[in-house]
């Protein structure tokens, strides 16, 4: 370890397991374990994987001014952000959006969760606890809200894959009660033993946790928040309980390919220092029903409403597994007339999918053709200055090669993230 990188409580465990370590967001994190990134990716699609995501940060907002501050700074309209019926934010619900500056650019993306009547937490990316706390403190005004950056005070472990519920079933006190009424993007519990909510979710050893039906893989599973000192114990409990399901520790490489396949952006790569609009994630902005305007005021709104030269972000899928190398130069996007129209933001090998006829299937597609073995497809995101539609084909070019890519609405089909808990408990 060097270069002043921070580590999580699981650093020694990762190294002892022979993980390849790499710098990410100021932390030294596992890129993959000896099983390798392909096996790790496929384990999440077919069984279950666990990820140390303790490098991520949590910021707490407590007090009666929390709601108004988040309404001002977060892109979701908390009065109407839950579900298809546009219900208001309420206790136990999560909402995904972004914090923007006044130029409409992304400072960071976040899942905001309401823990109690005047208590919210924002889960942000590695190293972003400080900048987000500072940004919101600057906009607090006279609001009665205390902002606490919990960077490095919490551990976070993600259990992702169809077997995740069966593992947690073995590890929770009164698991049936915990799982009752727990759809996608809801959570229960508290990591703080002093909180009145701490009793809602406890591990069998008594440790209080937040169990959240969220993640970054597109597959069924949980994110678990726990006091930092309990992280290694939690990790080992999951591995032990998950042995019978083939639980695979997964590193950042698999996390990156899984999230790209799930058409989820990486902050500061697919969303960043450009206006946060015209992208595959319009649900993160507070649009009205006919998408003609916004239902609330928020920081960045003015900039988004007065763009002079808009750019468009799209998801793409290639025709085989070959990639353009985003990390060694700046691959460009060419239209059919060979005119350069933009840049490639992300490009990964999604090893769980393949083309068959005119369709893309996943290794876990229920209707996949007999004998289908995914050979992998390149996929990712591009940012271009012209509007494109699904099915249009562009060329991506780096110093080495040119690949064809199809613009798509969605990448990996048949994801399990919204699967009902009952179904997953039986899987």
Partner 1 sequence: MKSIDELNLPEGCRYAEDHEWAKLEGDKVRVGLDDYAQDQLQAIVYVELPQVGDSFKKGEPFGVVESVKAVVDCYMPVGGEIIAVNTALVDSPQLVNESPYDEGWMIDIKPTDLTEMDTLYTRESIKEATLKRMEEEDQ
Binding site for partner 1 (CB under 8 A): 2, 18, 20, 31-32, 36-39, 41, 253, 257, 320-325, 348-349, 351, 376, 400-401
Which of 2, 389 has the CB closer to partner 1? 2
Pairwise CA distance, residues 329 & 118, whole Å:
46
Q: Which of 324, 342, 329 is nearest to 392 (CA)?
A: 342
Nearest 5 degrees, angle CA 22-CA 24-CA 30? 40
Least distance in angstroms from the C-beta of 291 to partner 1 = 37
Which of 173, 343 has the CB closer to partner 1? 343
Least distance in angstroms from the C-beta of 319 to partner 1 = 12
Least distance in angstroms from the C-beta of 394 to partner 1 = 19
> Phi/psi at 40 (nearest 5 deg)?
-65, -45
Which of 168, 382 has the CB closer to partner 1? 382
Least distance in angstroms from the C-beta of 14 to partner 1 = 12
Contact 402, 396 (CB under 8 A): yes
Pairwise CA distance, residues 83 & 377, whole Å:
32
Which of 257, 284 has the CB closer to partner 1? 257
Torsion of CA 418, 212, 270, 25, to 10 degrees: -150
Which of 30, 97 has the CB closer to partner 1? 30
Nearest 5 degrees, angle CA 268-CA 412-CA 126? 25
Least distance in angstroms from the C-beta of 325 to partner 1 = 5
Which of 72, 395 has the CB closer to partner 1? 395
CA-based R_g, the chain, Å: 21
Least distance in angstroms from the C-beta of 217 to partner 1 = 15
Pairwise CA distance, residues 225 & 205, whole Å:
15
Which of 33, 191 has the CB closer to partner 1? 33
Which of 247, 349 has the CB closer to partner 1? 349
Location of structure tokens 């709104």? 301
Pairwise CA distance, residues 334 & 364, whole Å:
33
Q: Which of 175-196 are b and which e, b meaning 16 or more Cβ less than 10 Å from the residue's Cβ?
A: beebbeebeebbbbbbbbeebe
Residues paired with 14 in a beta bridge: none
Which of 122, 360 has the CB closer to partner 1? 360
In the chain, the N- to C-terminal Cα span, in Å, equals 40
Residues 6+ apart with CB under 8 A from 219: 44, 45, 160, 161, 162, 258, 262, 415, 416, 417
DSSP 85-111: TTBPP-TTBEEEEEEE-TTSBEEEEEE
Least distance in angstroms from the C-beta of 31 to partner 1 = 7
Least distance in angstroms from the C-beta of 376 to partner 1 = 5
Least distance in angstroms from the C-beta of 158 to partner 1 = 19
């Amino acid at each position: 370890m060097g270069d002043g990188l921070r580590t999580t409580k699981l650093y020694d465990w990762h190294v002892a397991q022979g993980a390849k370590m790499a710098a990410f967001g100021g932390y030294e994190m596992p890129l993959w374990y000896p099983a390798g990134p392909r096996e790790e990716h496929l384990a999440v699609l077919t069984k279950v994987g666990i990820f140390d995501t303790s490098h991520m940060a949590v910021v707490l907002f407590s007090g009666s001014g929390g709601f108004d501050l988040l309404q001002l700074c977060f892109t979701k309209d908390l009065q109407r952000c839950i579900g298809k019926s546009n219900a208001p934010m309420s206790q136990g619900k999560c909402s995904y959006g972004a914090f923007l500056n006044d130029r409409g650019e992304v400072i960071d993306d976040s899942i905001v969760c309401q823990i109690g009547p005047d208590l919210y937490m924002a889960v942000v990316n590695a190293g972003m606890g400080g900048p987000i706390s500072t940004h919101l403190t600057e906009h607090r005004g006279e609001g009665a809200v205390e902002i606490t950056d919990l960077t490095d005070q919490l551990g976070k472990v993600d259990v992702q894959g169809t077997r995740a519920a069966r593992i947690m079933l073995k590890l929770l006190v009164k698991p049936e009660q915990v799982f009752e009424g727990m759809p996608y993007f809801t959570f229960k519990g508290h990591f703080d033993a002093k909180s009145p909510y701490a009793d809602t979710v406890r591990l069998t050893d008594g440790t209080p946790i937040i169990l959240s039906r969220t993640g970054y893989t597109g597959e069924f599973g949980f994110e678990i928040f726990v006091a930092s000192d309990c992280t290694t114990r939690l990790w080992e409990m999951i591995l032990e309980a998950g042995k019978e399901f083939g639980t695979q520790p997964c590193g950042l490489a698999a996390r990156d390919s899984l999230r790209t396949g799930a058409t989820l952006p990486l902050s500061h790569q697919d969303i960043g220092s450009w206006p946060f609009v015209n992208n595959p994630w319009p649900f993160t902005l507070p649009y009205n029903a006919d998408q003609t305007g916004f239902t609330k005021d928020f920081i960045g709104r003015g900039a988004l409403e007065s763009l002079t030269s808009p750019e468009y972000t799209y998801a793409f899928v290639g025709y085989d597994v070959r990639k353009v190398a985003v990390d060694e130069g700046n691959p460009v996007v060419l239209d059919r007339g060979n005119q350069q129209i933009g840049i490639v933001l992300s490009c990964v090998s999604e090893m769980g999918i393949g083309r068959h006829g005119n369709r893309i299937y996943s290794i876990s597609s229920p209707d996949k053709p007999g004998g289908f073995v995914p050979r992998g497809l390149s996929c990712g995101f591009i940012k271009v200055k012209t509007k494109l539609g699904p099915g249009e084909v562009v060329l991506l070019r780096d110093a080495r090669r040119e690949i064809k890519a199809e613009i798509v609405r969605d990448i990996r089909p048949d994801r399990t993230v919204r699967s009902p808990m009952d179904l997953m408990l039986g899987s």
